[in-house]
Structure 1
Amino acid sequence: MSTTQTTPGWTLNGQLEPAHNIRPERRARSLSGLPPKRHDEAGNRWLRLLTNPWTWISVVLFQLYAVTLYLVWRQLSADQVFPEGVVPGLDWATLKECAGYAAPTAAVWSLFFIAFDRLRPMKPLFWLLAFGWGSCMSIWLSLNINSWAAQLLNVSASPGDPAAQARPAVFVAPFVEEAAKATFLFLLAVLVRYRIVSGLQSICLAGLAAIGFAFTENIVYYARALVYGSVTTGAGDVEQAVQQLVFLRGVITSFGHPLFTMLTGIGLVIGLRTRSKLVRILAPLTGFLLSALGHMAFNGMSSISEMSMRRLVIQFVIVIAVILFIMVRALRKELQRIRTRLGDYVQLGWLDAREVPNYGTVRRRSWLVMVAVRRGWRTLRATLARMRDMSELAYLRDAMVRGVVDEAGHERERELLGQLQALRPLALVEADGLRMEIPWHRLAFWRRRRAVAASHWPAP
């Protein structure tokens, strides 16, 4: 009998078993990027939270975001000395005012990207981490690297901030900023590559990181305009100039950062969903180069010529239409993939053929959720969980067909099928014939009360 000490693990019934019985399966899942087995015992909820690595990764990242944001604040609050004079640093009151100007743009674009991440949505923690990385970490990296590169280009003696001159803005800033924003995507691809299974997820994370970057950058631009106008003689109506800048950066050209970083996200998900090692390297690299070159062309056009407001509005409408086309096309493609892969399980007899259309169209999925809201919290929770498991099962099957996941995926398949069967009694599984339960009697009672109150009101 071996006397080797092993670390015990938990079985499904809550008992301990030796680690040599579970370690090979855990290693196989880890190599394929699959999540470990979940143990849903209520007594281990806090233990699972404390032993979850993403709990501590999030704590470290949030602290890192706070530190980098403080460093950016210290750097921007210092007075800037130029040959023409001294420009005061940014004060706290100005930053709060400008944050209010930049917040609507960030909120609208964030909700836009989150709304499209519906088929197999990422956890809100990843959305928050992506936005925080762009608004804090990416800004700090870009601010320092751009200033250092500007000094290497020998433009520090020219008037104004060196990092804001034409050459660094065109030839340095696009590569630095896109790399800083995309770093979070590549970190997720290394740590939780199984979670990023669709183009919508990658585009959503890329867009949130870009919007976070644009949010902080807009605050800095607006605040610098306010401070510069307040200390410059003959600057004119400073408030009106800032409002024009808010309209230009917050509305007309607000698509810039999301559009460019989306290209990196698309290239990354192409690399993650293929077995070819060459494509895994070339696809993310190509997406990054396209995003940097597009950013470079945008900055170059802005630096060389000034377009009229009419041309800017036309450009804004065209680019928004392109972004919508990309998102809708990606949504239709992912829905078709879900229908196809769930059809494989129908042929095997593991799923009912009537269930597949309910999870392969936006209309049916939305109707199931809307009716579940009226049925109560338990029904809504079970319906959303079953919808999420169906999508995960379809993407797992797609990964196994592509050769991205090996034999370890079969155990995960059995787990998901078991969860689907367990949720079936509580969840809504078929949209055909499903009716919305509206409490008409409550509405009629409310109308009668208003009519009685109106009859007792004295005539004028």
Structure 2
Amino acid sequence: MRALDTQAILQGHRPGRHSVGLVVGTTVSVLCLLGVLGYILVLGAAGAGASGVVGFVLSLMLATIPVSIIVPLILLLDRLEPEPPAMLLFAFLWGAGVAVLVSLILNTLGMELYTIPAFGAGMGEYLGATVIAPVVEESAKGMVLLFLLWRRRHEIDSYTDGVIYAGMVAAGFAFTENVMYFLTSFFEAGALGVAFTFLLRGLVSPLGHPLFTAMIGLGVAHVAINRDAVRFLAPFVGWVGAVLLHALWNGSTVFGWLGFAFAYFVCFWVLVGVIVRAVLDRHRQVAAISRYLSPYQVTGLVTPADIHMLSSMKARRRARGWAQHNAGSGGRRAMRDYQLAATELALLHQRLERGVARPRWWERRDAFLALMHVARDAFLGGVRRPVVPVWAGSSSDSGLMHHDSFQHVIDRARVQPPAHPPDSVG
């Protein structure tokens, strides 16, 4: 018997293995982030000596404040079926490192080699901010979403998932960009300039970048969860939407406060639309839990009370509290594993019905069932040290479980249906 690798089951990879692409991408992103921050620090020190270093540290500290607000708000959308932390971190670091570095280079080249020579300093800088920057920055941020679509498509189960990954990329981008803006304001207008810039970028419009890139996230998600004939156009349409919103926001500055108010109005209603989309996704996920888990009641791994509990965040919290009272901290972890595995099982069936499930999808189903079985024993106090049931071999092409695989888990559940927490839990 061997210890259960919960994360491997939930994320769909072999125990003890990690995605090489994810590791390499995260490493490259960290190096790019350190390189950009180092470049900003060197410029600050070269321009104002010790005062520049102080300005850099102040800017870095201030830039963390909007991030500490935005990221939790983004993750609020992700509570029912949380995305893997490693992927969320990768997305954030890509935005903060790779996307910023690419944008810094291409934006500078675009203005120095094209817009300023062609239109003069004033108009050239405005066109750079309104035309070049939106195209370059949204492309740099959107690249990682295409990578996730290519390599981790099975993690994108809804439009909300696309918004979450897009939001994390954009939050990282905004973090590093804010450091640069705050430091520039420090040099140009001192503490008062930094305070004004922080008010504008950190408090008035912190959702700008996440909202722009969310359009690409919606397009990428459409490809991941649908099989319609035009689905591959969706990322491009989303990219166009992101660029137009970004250009509207940057371009509104020339029209003063009236232009800013109009751009804010448009972005507000786009934000409302994204929230409505997230609410609809949540309702569909809850419906999927009830629809696809109900047939599993014959196994004893799922009961009507469990389905009710899984359909509410409040009931899930109460269930974790009950499990901790019944079986300690290990029971609480087991309940959380059960909730995640059951939710993933329902969404797997939803993907199967849509025709976008991965090949050999039944292997993931079997793994989820095994995790649910072991976790259930643990939070009920049935075993002290959960272990993975013995299983080997592959499932048949029909998707039915072999006896060599997890059939004995199902058989045992039928013969001895495990008890379930009292109704007060769910």
CA RMSD of aligned residues (A): 3.3
Do the aligned partners of 1:252 and 1:312 also contact (CA within 8 Å) in 2?
no
Of the three residues 103, 109, 120, the one matched with 2:70 is: 109
SS at match of 2:379: coil
Do the aligned partners of 2:167 and 2:213 also contact (CA within 8 Å) in 1?
yes
Q: Which structure ranks higher in relative contact order (CA pairs < 8 Å, sequence separation ≥ 6)? A: 2
**TM-score, length-scaled by structure 1:** 0.72
Once the two structures are superposed, residues 321-371 of structure 1 have per-residue CA deviations (whole angstroms, 9 ceiling, x without a partner) of: 555444333323322233222234448987433322221222322321333
User: Partners in 2 of 1:373 and 1:354 — Cα distance?
Assistant: 18
Pair 220,36 (structure 1): closer, same or farther in 2 beyond 3 Å? closer
| Correspondence 1:216 to 2:180 | no
Of the three residues 58, 63, 80, the one matched with 1:119 is: 80
Of the three residues 338, 350, 361, the one matched with 2:289 is: 338
> What is residue 342 of structure 2 aligned with on the other side?
390
**TM-score, length-scaled by structure 2:** 0.78
User: Partners in 1 of 2:263 and 2:358 — Cα distance?
Assistant: 50
Do the aligned partners of 2:102 and 2:140 also contact (CA within 8 Å) in 1?
yes
User: Partners in 2 of 1:337 and 1:113 — Cα distance?
Assistant: 23
- Counting only pairs closer than 5 Å after superposition, residues 122-137 of structure 1 correspond to structure 2 as 122-137=83-98
Of the three residues 147, 151, 157, the one matched with 1:191 is: 151
| Letter paired with 2:175 | F
Of the three residues 392, 404, 418, the one matched with 2:356 is: 404
User: Partners in 2 of 1:53 and 1:59 — Cα distance?
Assistant: 8
Of the three residues 203, 207, 215, the one matched with 1:255 is: 207
| Correspondence 1:60 to 2:24 | yes
> What is residue 423 of structure 2 aligned with on the other side?
432
Of the three residues 99, 119, 142, the one matched with 1:182 is: 142
| Correspondence 1:268 to 2:232 | no
Pair 318,251 (structure 1): closer, same or farther in 2 beyond 3 Å? farther
The count of aligned residue pairs is: 376
Do the aligned partners of 1:378 and 1:426 also contact (CA within 8 Å) in 2?
yes
Do the aligned partners of 1:133 and 1:184 also contact (CA within 8 Å) in 2?
yes
User: Partners in 2 of 1:307 and 1:430 — Cα distance?
Assistant: 58
> What is residue 168 of structure 1 aligned with on the other side?
128
Once the two structures are superposed, residues 135-186 of structure 1 have per-residue CA deviations (whole angstroms, 9 ceiling, x without a partner) of: 1111001111111122343315855896xx2101111111211111121121
Of the three residues 217, 226, 232, the one matched with 2:186 is: 226
> What is residue 320 of structure 2 aligned with on the other side?
369
Pair 345,169 (structure 1): closer, same or farther in 2 beyond 3 Å? same
Pair 195,332 (structure 1): closer, same or farther in 2 beyond 3 Å? same
| Structure 2: runs of 5+ lacking an equivalent | 4-10, 381-419
> What is residue 116 of structure 2 aligned with on the other side?
155
Which has the higher mean CA deviation after the structures are superposed, 169-178 or 310-319?
310-319
> What is residue 297 of structure 1 aligned with on the other side?
248
Pair 403,328 (structure 1): closer, same or farther in 2 beyond 3 Å? closer
> Once the two structures are aligned, what percentage of the paired residues are identical?
24
Once the two structures are superposed, residues 422-452 of structure 1 have per-residue CA deviations (whole angstroms, 9 ceiling, x without a partner) of: 22222365462239xxxxxxxxxxxxxxxxx
User: Partners in 2 of 1:53 and 1:415 — Cα distance?
Assistant: 18
Do the aligned partners of 1:101 and 1:246 also contact (CA within 8 Å) in 2?
yes
Do the aligned partners of 1:252 and 1:316 also contact (CA within 8 Å) in 2?
no
